[in-house]
Amino acid sequence: MKDNRILRVAFQGERGAYSEAAAVEHFNGENIEPVPCETFDEVFARVEDSDCDRGAVAIENSLAGSIHRNYDLLLEHDLSIVDEHYLRIVHCLIAHPGAALSDICRVYSHPQALAQCESTLDWLPGVERITTYDTAGSVELIKAEGFKDAAAIASRRAAQVHDMEILKEGIEDNPENYTRFLILAREPIEPPLPAKTSIVFATKNVPGVLFKSLSVFALRDIDLAKIESRPLKGKPWEYFFYLDFVGSMTEERCRNAINHLKEIASYLRILGSYPKAET
Amino acid sequence: MKDNRILRVAFQGERGAYSEAAAVEHFNGENIEPVPCETFDEVFARVEDSDCDRGAVAIENSLAGSIHRNYDLLLEHDLSIVDEHYLRIVHCLIAHPGAALSDICRVYSHPQALAQCESTLDWLPGVERITTYDTAGSVELIKAEGFKDAAAIASRRAAQVHDMEILKEGIEDNPENYTRFLILAREPIEPPLPAKTSIVFATKNVPGVLFKSLSVFALRDIDLAKIESRPLKGKPWEYFFYLDFVGSMTEERCRNAINHLKEIASYLRILGSYPKAET
């Protein structure tokens, strides 16, 4: 990707979505073409079908938690995680150019964004809150409909993409609002260190098996970053476990840990090793 | 509750919701009054405020996974888990009395219910699928609107509550479709054995801490039934862990395990010990 070829990066959402902002920030300086997709499924499919070179999918938000659908899709598709990116979620109040805060009677956005800006909205008395399907789409809506008395809550990028004006930036109540994105590709990479590795495994349903599974890392001083469980469909109350650990499959101790885990697991797949991003 | 007093049981959803079916099945024979609530928050609040005696909330589905909002609410409210109940989800195709399958042009339901009945719906060619807010509400809708050419997918109870007819029962693709419900009350109980206990804890962010946390159970041969992680708001990438283990706080080995875990955890709360239900 060192040449001048344009890297096509699939993301879920409309132009200006936080996922697009994450892709642009992540591939800072590289020649990329963000490709909007209606669903997460489409992001995975477009990369798998070689229509796109990379996918950028949100996997977890520091306030709302994991995006479980994407955990399931990691298992359903045969892609590799090649990088991660943390995006600070900065919500902006966006309106038509020239609009003043005092003009605003209605605010459109995704319910989660509206909820995350409660204090600012409370401070705008009498302003009606209208829930929509997504943040960037709300900016497009008030632009397309010519709503001069309305604003939308979305990313700075959504304002740029739609040539709209930011009335107020950073209106979220909790500044500790980050989303972790995974960058997906068809082929795995051998990352520089420090790296992280994501795996998914299932265990036999015997007592103490999760403890034994974690022991393969603890006994080798391999630090865990995240554990997530998802239902094993067709086997009620059995689970797939998704684990992120600090280390790369290029390191012998990590390969040993995985080989050890294979003795315990009924299923195991490496989702990828990738450079560990700064949080 | 041995007297003839009516037990008021709050549940989320409309009359005839699967949550109501779970409450009725669970308190089989007891004199209960199911109290519909718009949101899960309302269920918790009504029990906490003594307006209701019990709450029945879905915590996990064997196909779709955990209902994370209810994990968060367990932490936000000061209620105890006093029982659990597994409900087999049997989807019914429900229409006006006298309607025939060949009359049906449209099927209304919650997107998840529609998705879980894909095979049956594919077998009804040309039938339009219309997504709604909930399953039982769809039955109410086609009744209220007098849609004789429409059906809804919902529980057997929804048909009973609304005096509608079941055209076909058990139309779900995957029969391994169960939802686990928790029964909530203001005071904890001392359950008969075998019992389960649910706890929530947070750990200091040091390597190997989850492994050490699980060791307090493994070293005492206490079996884990479930682990779930949720974000610790305000501390990005730190987590609350929700654990279900087989055992009761009335048992010394369980109290010892919890005391041991307190040495490792930065926060710990017992959500309740309750009789272990058959799955």
Could you read off the pLDDT of B81-126 as tens digits, one per residue?
999 999 999 999 999 999 999 999 999 999 889 989 998 888 888 8
**Which pLDDT score, from 0 to 100, does residue B29 have?**
77
* The CATH classification of domain A195-272, taken from the options 3.40.50.720, 3.90.1170.40, 3.30.70.260, 3.30.70.270: 3.30.70.260
Q: Is the pLDDT of residue A17 over 70?
A: yes
- Complex-level ipTM beyond the 0.85 threshold: yes
From chain B, pick out residues whose CB is under 8 angstroms from the CB of A214.
210-211, 214
Using CB atoms, pick whichever of B63, B210, B228 lies closest to residue A224: B210
Q: Exactly one of A11, A181, A217, A245 is catalytic; which is it?
A: A181
- CB distance from A187 to chain B under 8 Å? no
Banded model confidence at residue A29, pLDDT cuts 50, 70, 90 = confident
Cβ-based neighbours of A184, under 8 Å, separated by 6 or more: A43, A44, A47, A54, A55, A56, A57, A79, A80, A81, A82
CATH H superfamily, domain A7-88+177-185: Periplasmic binding protein-like II (3.40.190.10)
**Which pLDDT score, from 0 to 100, does residue A111 have?**
87
Rounded mean pLDDT, A81-96: 97
Find how far residue B110's CA is from the centre of its chain: 16
Distance from CA of A114 to the nearest CA of B (A): 17
Span B33-68, pLDDT tens digits = 999 999 999 999 999 999 999 999 999 999 989 999
Cβ-based neighbours of B84, under 8 Å, separated by 6 or more: B180, B181, B182, B183, B196, B274, B275, B276, B277
CATH H superfamily, domain A92-169: Periplasmic binding protein-like II (3.40.190.10)
Report CB contact under 8 Å: A211, B228: no
Span B129-140, pLDDT tens digits = 999 988 999 999
Cβ-based neighbours of A94, under 8 Å, separated by 6 or more: A139, A142, A151, A152, A153, A154, A158, A159, A164, A165, A166, A167
**Which pLDDT score, from 0 to 100, does residue A90 have?**
96
Task: Tell me if B42 sits within 8 A of B159, measured CB to CB.
Answer: no
Span A225-278, pLDDT tens digits = 999 999 998 888 899 999 999 999 999 999 999 999 999 999 999 999 999 998
Q: Is the pLDDT of residue B2 over 60?
A: no
Residues of B numbered 203-242 whose beta carbons fall under 8 angstroms of chain A's beta carbons: which are they?
Answer: 207-208, 210-212, 214-215, 217-218, 221, 223-231, 233-237, 239
**Which pLDDT score, from 0 to 100, does residue B142 have?**
96
Report CB contact under 8 Å: A223, B233: no
Whether A7-88+177-185 and A92-169 share one fold: the answer is: yes
The residue of chain A with its CA nearest to that of B174 is: A234
User: Any catalytic annotation for residue A27?
Assistant: no
- Domain ranges within chain B, ordered by starting residue: 7-88+177-185, 92-169, 195-275
Span B145-159, pLDDT tens digits = 999 999 999 999 999
Which range (A158-162, B4-8, B192-196, B253-257) has the least confidence? B4-8
Span B201-259, pLDDT tens digits = 999 878 889 999 999 999 999 999 999 999 998 888 899 999 999 999 999 999 999 99
Report CB contact under 8 Å: A211, B215: yes
Tell me whether residue B223 is exposed, middle or buried, using C-beta atoms within 10 angstroms of its C-beta: 0 to 12, 13 to 18, 19 or more. Answer: middle
Report CB contact under 8 Å: B231, A61: yes
> CB pairs below 8 Å between A and B: how many?
93
Using CB atoms, pick whichever of A174, A214, A230 lies closest to residue B210: A214
Q: Is the pLDDT of residue B69 over 70?
A: yes
Which among A228, A258, A263, A226 has a CA at the least distance from the CA of A245? A226
Cα–Cα distance, B184 to B83 (Å, whole number) = 7
CATH H superfamily, domain B195-275: ACT domain (3.30.70.260)
Rounded mean pLDDT, B2-17: 88
